[in-house]
Homo-oligomer: A and B are copies of this chain.
Amino acid sequence: MTEATLTHLDEKGQARMVDVGEKPHTERSATATAIIYMQPETLAMIVEGKHKKGDVMATARIAGIMAAKRTPDLIPMCHPLMITSVKVDLVADMDVSCVNIEATCKTVGQTGIEIEALTAASVAALTLYDMCKAVDRGMVIDQVQLMEKVGGKSGHWQR
């Protein structure tokens, strides 16, 4: 049995970008989500009334997509990879007063793309915070988590 290990640490516990050069190029995708809770009045400002057609959701969507591409600049041991697709969806839920964010990234490469999807969802949520903070400082980002990954040696994983 192979013992589970933290691959980005060497035998001395020092950080390294683990060698993936031997791994085959395969199609991979990952979907991550985040939820941002806010005051009902804040959510209403985004989805109806005065700012209905405003750029809030679009700004968060675009920020999430761009952040996926910047992931290796932000996450120290993350390998660069050629993203072939990014999609960020934001859906307002008026009942529990939140925005549900779902990000899906794809690549053909030697490493998984989970961290890119998580980064896209996180930065989309942070952008919503930034766009609304003047009216609601108490917003909370929750459940930033991987929902599914496809491809790679470890295969299919689903929450």
User: How many A residues have CB within 8 A of the partner chain?
Assistant: 91
Q: A13-B55, A87-B17 are in contact. Are A125 and B110 (CB under 8 A)?
A: no
Q: A45-B6, A62-B62 are in contact. Are A87 and B16 (CB under 8 A)?
A: yes
* A134 adjacent to chain B (CB < 8 Å): yes
Task: State the A residues within 8 Å of B (CB).
Answer: 4-10, 13-21, 27, 41, 45-46, 50-56, 58-59, 61-63, 65-70, 72-89, 106-110, 112, 114-115, 118-119, 122-123, 125-127, 129-135, 137-146, 149, 157, 159
16 CB < 8 A contacts A-B: A6-B46, A9-B131, A15-B54, A15-B56, A15-B58, A19-B84, A63-B76, A70-B70, A74-B126, A84-B110, A115-B130, A118-B126, A118-B141, A122-B123, A122-B141, A141-B143
